[in-house]
Amino acid sequence: MIERDATFRLTCPGCGEPRALRAPGATGDGSVHAAPLPACAGCGAEQSHEDGVLILDAEPGVGEWPGEVVARVAEVEEQHWWHASRNRVLGTVLRRAARERTLETLVELGCGTGFVLRHFEQWGLQVAGLDMDRAALAVARRRVGGPLIRSGRLAIPLADPVDVVAVIDVLEHNPEVPLLAACRDALRPGGLLLLSVPAQPWLWSLEDVMSGHQRRYTRRTLKAAVEASGFRMLRQVPFHLAVTPLAWRAAHRPLPDPLPTPAEYFGTTLRAPSSRGHALATAALRLEAAIGSVVPLPFASHLAALAERT
């Protein structure tokens, strides 16, 4: 069951005092802005807003993309079968859990441009997002009504535990132990960790290098990392088997020398498919999902997972 009546509170980075993150409000042009955060009653600290995003700190974080790449990603997401298919898979995984428990709040660590976060907000969940990339958060602000926080720390600075923490194609960029510890700290007992990661180390390619990945996962390595951090793995779902041959072909191309910059690489590879290609890929992946609901897929280029905080 999904309910929507929760309010997020920020933990003051100076003294730990909680402050309510007020609901965003509509502007005259139809966009959404964040309401000002009052000064901390405990220490008087103030945090600024930029484009409706709360700026919590100036820590650099890991793997920030150039602004031109962010703009391209945001454009392609709305038109590409890959992103829509991933949202469907994540929704299916979480919806099954929602039948058995009440879910009200979801925070996404590494929310990027808000494409996934919007999907869950449209469900009716109360959502909040954190990311280190201001350009991506500016896009997310136009997509999402919930609070958005800019921070480079591997932490979720909310005063109250939430029902779901989503980490979507982020774990592979970061040290596992501190990131998963931050997720566990933010969850209520029995709360859910929703993950998506690139799978199969033998699919490692230039795409991984340009994306700043540190690793690809198998079911075994993902389960080991998650359960070592105080979670119980509930479900792992391989997805995008239908397009794994494309990833295999990319993995067998030699890396260029010299390597392109991420802006150069994604400037040429990030593009929307043709309408025919989009329709064919969407149909193939819907069929894959239907088969996978009956017979578990042996592997695929990506893994979705759901784990419970113990």
Q: What is the DSSP string of 200-224?
A: -GGG--HHHHHHT----B-HHHHHH
| pLDDT in the model for residue 29 | 45
- Which homologous superfamily does the CATH classification assign to the domain defined by 38-309? Vaccinia Virus protein VP39 (3.40.50.150)
Question: Which residues have CB under 8 Å from 186's CB, separation 6+?
Answer: 107, 156, 158, 161, 162, 165
Number of H helices, E strands in the chain: 10, 13
Measured from the Cβ of residue 88, the count of other Cβ atoms closer than 10 Å reads 16
* Percent of the chain residues topping a pLDDT of 90: 78
Domain segments of the chain as ranges: 38-309
Average pLDDT over residues 11-18: 90
- CA neighbor of 205 nearest in space, from 255, 130, 150: 255
Q: pTM of the entire structure?
A: 0.93
Residue showing tokens 């990339």: 133
What pLDDT shows up at residue 41? 85
**Cα–chain center distance at 288:** 23
CA distance 149 to 133: 10
**What does the pLDDT look like over 184-224, one tens digit per residue?**
999 999 999 999 999 999 999 999 999 999 999 999 999 99
Cα separation, 301 vs 122, in Å, equals 27
Q: What is the dihedral of CA 40, 20, 114, 221, to 10 degrees?
A: 90
- Please say if the pLDDT value at position 2 is more than 70: no
**24 confidence band (pLDDT: 50, 70, 90):** low
Nearest to 77 by CA among 113, 31, 130, 32: 113
> What is the pLDDT at residue 32?
52
Q: What integer pLDDT is reported at residue 100 of this predicted model? A: 87
**pLDDT band, very low/low/confident/very high, at 28 (cuts 50, 70, 90):** very low
Q: How far apart are CA 91 and CA 75, in angstroms?
A: 22
